[in-house]
Chains A and B, each alone.
Chain A
Amino acid sequence: MLSSRLLTTLCAIAGDDGVIVRPHELRVYECDGYTLEKSAPDVVVLPRSTEQVSQILRLLDAEGIAFVPRGAGTGLSGGCLPLDAPVMIGTSRMKRIRSIDRVNRRAVVEAGVVNLSVSNAVKADGLLYAPDPSSQMACTIGGNVAENSGGPHTLKYGVTTNHVLGIELVLPSGEVVELGGAVEDVPGYDLTGLVVGSEGTFGIVTAATLRLIRQPEACTTLLAIFESVDDATATVSDIIAAGIVPAAIEMMDQLIVEAVEAAFRFGFPTDAGAVLIIELDGLAAGLPPQAEKITALCQTRRARSVRVARDDAERAALWKSRKRAFGAVGRLAPSYCTQDGVVPRTKLPEILQRILSIGRRYDLRIGNVFHAGDGNIHPILLFDERDEKQVERVLAAGREILEACVELGGSVTGEHGIGVEKIAQMPLLFSPDDLLIMSELRRVFDPHGRCNPGKIFPTPGACVETTRPHRRAAL
């Protein structure tokens, strides 16, 4: 238990309204989007400034107390699950856009700024912030930086790390460091690049300098309907191999299409095996030939139909369907678990076959909605979390899917992070020496292991009580 003296000091720093201790209020913070494990912190602190974060971390450092950072809690790998960390520090009240430099195309925003509001703030200037996770209406820049978030349009534009130029980081000691910045090519190691995607284990990112890009001059969105998943995934490989780099290629299989259609009534055919949403953008002059080429490639793979979104409204409706597909799945089952794996793009047909047979073997319904152009799959496993047996089957099936991804030359996470969910899979990708070096790097930033403990790395010695023993792997 935390001492009342500590709580009083936290209140003095963050204000009474910035400290949450009531159990029913703490329940909100017991998990993120990965709901298979839950653990509420003893206290949640919601600082308003970098200075307050620094004061809090100095205090915790002096007391030897571990903490966990949290953005909007939309993460999907349990990255902000409090494990052996009684204090949670939420950045949701740090939501100031500090500056926008339209000519140099930079913005400095605080960690709690919602992803979409960055693009909204520069929309009128013809600019945008490229990374667009499906949760972009809720997720924060701080969380995006922690997870190195992606999104549909990263196929062409890259993920978070390609758009973060600098970071304001509060180290677990409370020291504030500025890494990188608006001017590029800062001499020294690329610590900004190292911090992005470190899943909140190096300290608390309180602000980031973002690169803004220009809105594309034109945009063509195609919807291709296929009889089978195989045909759709083979088409994805064909498009990439033809040397076309669309802004996005997204796939939804029949199960997902049914759920999305029930929720949004876009007009998808619910009897089709799979649909592809393919978006091209760039100079208007370049798009028609590419669209023709893609249409031809779809037809070669027996597409039932290929049509172009008529106008912005139809395009927006298409994207809304895609981005809210996860939510729509809620209609199909009481619970669902979104997996996140990657395979080389040419292996998509193979991995989807494997997922199908894994689903059959474990008697689970699995839907697929994913960033096909990147080879980044998101099988959604449907279940009822009240049924312990089903939960076990979901976990086992998820593990098998990830193992299959690795076997096919891929990775266990493309954009959701390792968090607590995939710790056991780290040794599939990395040798003991790799993991040891990464742990050593962590200690440079956090020598006492008090910042977001229990994440990313298998720690055989950790004395944490866990409901899911699978995440403690042997090194």
Chain B
Amino acid sequence: MTPQDVGNDRSQIARRLHDALGNGVALYGEATRTFAIDGSAPAAVLYPATVANVRDCLAVASELSLGVVPVGNGTQLHLGHAPRSYDAALSLRSLRRVVAHETADMTVTVEAGCTLAELNARLSTNGQWLPLDPPCPEHTTVGALIATDAWGPSRFSQGKVRDLLIGISAVLADGRLIHGGGRVVKNVAGYDLMKLFTGSFGTLGVITEATFKVRPRPQVSSVLVCESPSMADAVDDAVEIIAAPLAPLYVTALNPTAASFLHLPSAAVCVGIGGSAAEVAVQEQRLQSLRAERSVVRHHGATATRLLNGLRDLPSYNASLGARISLLPTEMAALLRDVEERTQRDQLPTAIVAQVGSGVAHLRCGKRDGDAYDWAALGRWLRQCVAHTGGHVVFDRLPPDARGHLDPWGDAIPGFALMRGIKQKLDPRGILSPGRFVGKL
């Protein structure tokens, strides 16, 4: 495929990229469908093989004022607004080296295109891991992990990207390479660019390299499934478990629909236990006696892994409407009860996965058979209910007809003027993921 084969309207852009970057960096035509956002594909997909290549790509894009969306494998393209302009997807997948794993220092420096699964496979040879467990680690690149601030159930005990990222390199829209932090676990020199880039959604720069703190993997782990009569009960149970003298890796509540995806018979709380054999044993025993009245099923080995992978991946399941609800743990039971009532009344099969200790729940609402449904009204209702408790909602899946009526990120973002100011300083022409993020930055 050469730029000449691309449709007329975009061939101009493709040709200029080709002239500037040559073969081997860019793909055109059909191959670009993989990175379509909201149905529209970019004119080209760029695969720079070196940081110098990334800088060249952005220098050209900046000169031509092309809209560029940085991507890894494109797992999160359904999230956010459609880009204002989308001339090229810039995939970091060819930059995938583990640059340095300092096992005794417990740090790792890795290029942005390395997937989390690849990285953790490497770390596991030394009994270590980067303790982040977002959905689909085999497709999630380190760059995407940081840019989308991806996390999983273990954030309850292990923290998020912001707690583990200690150094970052990124190429700005004009091709300048910048760095923040370093390779040591404690460092307060300069502004914390790691925090700025975490969750910045590709709008400030293209992340090329990152350094993380890593941790020892738990020697033993298990999942204890505590059945509950309903979702609201499961949340209450989770709150009780969190207050108990345990140190769980995660405490995840599931409604009956979510539980059924994992072949569990009812609403449940899944408690991840890990550590030394002695620590695991005492916790299992304490949890059993805490829940003496009710069933607790202990899973270990392959079944535990299967369950954990299910818990981890559930929030990424396709859905007509997907939402991430953040609120205080104590507000969760009542809110989710209302949500279940409403979705049942409207006959929407809905899976709910709640990380109770972190105050975050994922909602996956399925299709209604036959007649039209006002998804935007449901979204507005949900956002209003959550806002009432002081929380917020991000929609990560929206049906096409609801997109124009619901802002995926929500409106009235506190500190937005500062965010716009930062975007203007780092990407004054607005070429990086233009319009994708909050307030269409």
Contacts and interface: CB of A to CB of B under 8 A. Distances in A.
A440 interface: yes
Contacts of A352: none
Interface of A: 101, 103-104, 106, 147-148, 150, 154, 158-159, 161-162, 177-179, 181-194, 196-198, 217, 237, 240-241, 243-245, 282-286, 289-290, 342-346, 371, 374-376, 409-418, 422, 426, 429-431, 433-435, 437-438, 440-445, 456
Contacts of A191: 415, 418-419
Interface in B322-366: 324, 326-330, 358-360
B163 interface: yes
Contact of B239 (A103, A159, A197, A418): A103
B278 A342 contact: no
Contact of A183 (B199, B215, B390, B409): B390
Given A190-B195, A194-B192, A240-B105, A183 B415 contact: no
Given A162-B159, A429-B190, A193 B198 contact: yes
A34 to B, nearest CB: 15
Interface in B388-441: 390-392, 394, 409-410, 413-416, 418-419, 421-422, 425-426, 437-439
A444 B422 contact: yes
Contacts of B183: 344, 409-410
B253 to A, nearest CB: 16
B372 interface: no
Given A162-B159, A243-B127, A414-B187, A434 B179 contact: yes
A244 B421 CA distance: 43
A434 B196 CA distance: 14
B359 A189 contact: no
Interface of B: 102-107, 127-128, 149, 159, 162-163, 172, 176-180, 182-196, 198-200, 204, 215-216, 239, 243, 245-247, 275-276, 278-279, 281-283, 324, 326-330, 358-360, 390-392, 394, 409-410, 413-416, 418-419, 421-422, 425-426, 437-439
Contact of A193 (B162, B172, B327): B162
B221 to A, nearest CB: 14
Contacts of A289: 276, 278
A150 B245 CA distance: 27
Given A374-B186, A375-B184, A285 B282 contact: yes
A212 B421 CA distance: 32
B188 A416 contact: yes
A289 B279 CA distance: 10
9 contacts: A103-B330, A104-B330, A159-B188, A183-B392, A184-B360, A346-B105, A437-B425, A438-B190, A438-B191
Nearest to B391: A183
A444 B421 contact: yes
B127 A177 contact: no
A244 B276 CA distance: 11
Given A182-B390, A240-B106, A434-B190, A441 B282 contact: no
Given A104-B359, A285-B279, A371 B392 contact: no
A422 B191 CA distance: 14
A456 B192 CA distance: 13
Contacts of B159: 158, 162
Given A148-B192, A185-B324, 16 more contacts: A158-B163, A183-B359, A185-B149, A185-B326, A187-B409, A187-B413, A190-B162, A194-B195, A283-B245, A286-B275, A342-B186, A376-B186, A409-B182, A410-B182, A433-B176, A437-B178
A154 B186 contact: yes
A344 B188 contact: no
B178 A371 contact: no
Nearest to A406: B182
A431 B104 contact: no
A191 B282 CA distance: 40
B192 A283 contact: no
Contacts of B105: 240, 344-346, 375
A240 B276 CA distance: 16
Contacts of A437: 172, 176, 178, 193, 425-426
B200 A282 contact: no
Given A104-B329, A183-B326, A410-B182, A286 B392 contact: no
A186 B414 contact: yes
Contacts of B279: 282-283, 285-286
A189 B190 contact: no
Contacts of A194: 191-192, 195-196
A103 B329 contact: yes
Contacts of B439: 188
For the complex of A and B, 3 pairs with smallest distance between CB atoms: A193-B195, A243-B216, A444-B421
Given A193-B198, A344-B105, A185 B360 contact: yes
